[in-house]
Structure formats: C-alpha cells, structure tokens
C-alpha cells in the first residue's frame, strides 16, 4: 500500500468515527492545561486528574503559584512521577510567566520552550489544544502507533523524525485532531506490550499486524 493511501485510510476512519477527539486531561483554562501537561510527563492522565483539583484550587493562576514554595507545591503532587523536579519546574514556570509574559501563556514554540519543564512535546500540546495550531506532539503513544501503522518509516528513530513524517502527509486542519487520535488509539487499543489487534479497525492496513497476525 502506498503511503498516501495509508494516511487516507487512517484519516477516513477517525474523521468518520471520532470526529472531535479531546485531551483526557481536565482543565478549565490555558494555565491549568500547561500545569497538567508538565505534570503528565511519564505519568498517566488518570493520575494527573486525581491530583489537579486540589492543586488548581490552591493555585488558580500564575501569581499564586509563583509566590508558592517548592515544598508546598510538592505536597500537592507527591504521588506523580518525579515530584521534586516537577515542583521546581512549576514554580519556575509560574515565575517566568509573570516576569516575562505578563501571566499570559505564550503562543509560540520557542517562547513556550523557555519555560521550565516545557519541551517541544509540551509546547506542541499547548499550541494545538489552546491555539488550535497545526502542531504534532509526539509522545510514546504517537511514536509507537505511527510506526506500527506504517505512517512513520522505521528510519524515523526520534520524536522529531516521526513529527516530520506525520506533518508531511496530514493536512493541516487535521493535525491537532490526529495528535489525539494517535494517542488515544495507543492508550486503549494499540497497547505497547499486548496490542488489541482483535478489536482494532485499522489492522487491515497495519504493518505490525501484517507482520504479527498471531497477536489477535
């Protein structure tokens, strides 16, 4: 199957069956989303959603978080992965938001990446969800599913290489949605250790299933 047809099949399925995918992180404004995405690194959205209600109740805007101590923030996020580093990142991020950006969430990749705890993936999530920009955040699910489906070549061995492969073939208007489609498919169907090929509607053009049909 030609790559163009492979992408068409992918887009046709999800635009028909899941036309409006959403992030599973709970938030009510861009600041809360930024905090949640920083916390979600190497941690499940389910865990983040369990601890953010109390965190957001205490720190509802950059000002209060910037004025907090790292030790206090730690008490709210102690159950997530790497809580010490993330507490430092959150306080540092809030201070930079206030000092450099007037408390507003930046709208460019370069500006977002100046914030503590914000890498390319996090910056792209913010731009995609908050500003509906055509940016592709490549996490472990996007990386895995893109390779298994044959959307990214095996030579794409870095998140940036996968990002470029996807961006080259997905129309801009679908990029923000495609990010969620790939994540959710990886989270609930195309699992890392035991992909649920039996329930997968994409297996008829999946390179992984073609190679390992016994996985059903």
Check whether 190 is labelled as a binding-site residue: yes
By C-alpha distance, which of 141, 154, 171, 153 is closest to 3? Answer: 153
Q: Note if 22 is an active site residue.
A: no
Q: Note if 139 is an active site residue.
A: yes
Check whether 43 is labelled as a binding-site residue: no
- Choosing from 12, 88, 139, 211, the catalytic residue is 139
Check whether 206 is labelled as a binding-site residue: yes
**The two structure tokens encoding residue 70:** 């790292």
Check whether 197 is labelled as a binding-site residue: yes
Q: Helix, strand, or coil here: 150?
A: coil
- Choosing from 86, 121, 177, 203, the catalytic residue is 121
**Cβ atoms of 120 and 159 closer than 8 Å:** yes
**The two structure tokens encoding residue 80:** 């997530």
By C-alpha distance, which of 141, 174, 121 is closest to 7? Answer: 174
**Binding site for [4Fe-4S] cluster: residue ranges?**
190, 197, 200, 206
Cite the active site residues. 121, 139
């Amino acid at each position: 199957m030609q790559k163009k047809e492979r992408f068409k099949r992918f887009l046709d399925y999800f635009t028909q069956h899941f036309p409006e995918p959403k992030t599973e992180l709970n938030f009510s404004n861009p600041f809360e989303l930024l905090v949640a995405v920083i916390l979600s690194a190497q941690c499940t959205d389910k865990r983040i959603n369990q601890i953010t209600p109390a965190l957001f109740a205490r720190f509802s805007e950059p000002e209060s978080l910037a004025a907090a101590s790292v030790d206090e923030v730690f008490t709210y996020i102690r159950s997530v992965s790497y809580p010490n580093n993330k507490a430092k990142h959150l306080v540092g991020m809030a201070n930079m938001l206030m000092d450099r950006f007037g408390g507003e969430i930046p709208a460019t990749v370069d500006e977002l990446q100046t914030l503590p705890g914000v890498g390319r993936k996090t910056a792209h999530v913010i731009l995609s969800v908050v500003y509906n920009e055509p940016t592709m955040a490549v996490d472990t699910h996007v990386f895995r599913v893109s390779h298994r489906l044959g959307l990214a070549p095996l030579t794409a061995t870095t998140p940036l290489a996968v990002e470029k492969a996807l961006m080259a073939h997905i129309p801009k208007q679908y990029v923000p949605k495609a990010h969620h489609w790939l994540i959710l498919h990886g989270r609930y169907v195309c699992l890392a250790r035991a992909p649920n090929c039996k329930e997968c509607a994409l297996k008829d053009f999946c390179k992984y299933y073609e190679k390992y049909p016994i996985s059903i």
